[in-house]
Structure formats: C-alpha cells, structure tokens
C-alpha cells in the first residue's frame, strides 16, 4: 500500500471529512489524496510508523511518527535536502468499515522551522 494512492479508496469513505485545525476541514477522498500526494512529492522517502493504536466501536485512535528527506517544495519552501521528522495523532470515526471523519494533529510547524533554520 505504500505510495499507492488508489489504496485510499479501501480505507476512506468518498465523502470523508478531515479536520486539521479547530476551524479547518477538508471534505472528500480526492482532497485527502491530493494532500498525501503533495507530501510524497515534498518528501520522496516519506515513511510513517504506528506507535500506538486504540480501537473502540466505530472509532480508531492512532499515535504515529514520520520522517523523510525534503526533496520537493513544501509549504512554499524550496527543497533543502534536509531530513525531517514529526509526530502526531489521528482520531478516526468509522462508518461502514471506512474512515468517515478524521481529526489529525501533528507538529507540522516544527517541520517548517527545521527546514527554514539557518544551517
């Protein structure tokens, strides 16, 4: 499944709602697919590991961490070749066996700071 964006259709509902900030949300698997594609373009060796996974009826909570090398544009920052690492948590509401809604919290600001810091 790694790098296979078509596999998202087996995980996310077509009208999935993804919350990334208190007042920010995206709707639709295609929007989520585009976000993931942008991350894969910015960090060509992007890799994630699951640290903890908690299941409840119609819910899954995942604590994870990721890493990669900045090889493409990210948030308006030209490629630096620098390694980055970050962590986060995702809380998913399931419906019909698919993720219908997700709340994602990650330390993306630290990625930006690391990529723009003076060497």
Q: Which of 53, 107, 42 has its CA nearest to residue 80?
A: 42
Place 21 in a pLDDT band, splitting at 50, 70 and 90.
Answer: confident
Helix, strand, coil share (%) of the chain residues, nearest 5: 25, 50, 25
Please report the pLDDT score of residue 1 as a whole number: 42
From residue 59, give the alpha-carbon distance in Å to each of 11, 53, 102, 103.
13, 11, 10, 11
pLDDT of residue 3: 59
**Which has the higher per-residue pLDDT, 3 or 26?**
26
Q: Give the list of residues 6+ apart from residue 56 with CB closer than 8 angstroms, or none.
A: none
Q: Are 106 and 87 in contact (CB under 8 A)?
A: yes
Backbone phi, then psi, for 64, in 5-degree steps? -140, 170
Cα separations (Å) of 69 from 41, 50, 76, 86, 111? 10, 19, 16, 12, 11
Q: Is the pLDDT of residue 85 over 60?
A: yes
Mean pLDDT of 2-12: 77
Tell me phi and psi for residue 80, to 5 degrees: -110, -15
């Amino acid at each position: 499944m790694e790098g296979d964006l078509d596999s998202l259709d087996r995980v996310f509902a077509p009208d999935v709602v993804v919350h990334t900030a208190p007042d920010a949300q995206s709707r639709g698997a295609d929007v989520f697919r585009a976000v993931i594609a942008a991350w894969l373009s910015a960090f060509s060796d992007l890799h994630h590991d699951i640290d903890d996974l908690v299941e409840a009826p119609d819910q899954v909570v995942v604590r994870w961490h990721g890493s990669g090398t900045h090889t493409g544009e990210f948030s308006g920052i030209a490629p630096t070749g620098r390694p980055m690492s970050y962590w986060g948590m995702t809380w998913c509401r399931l419906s019909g066996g698919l993720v219908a809604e997700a709340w994602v919290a990650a330390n993306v600001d630290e990625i930006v700071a690391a990529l723009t810091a003076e060497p």
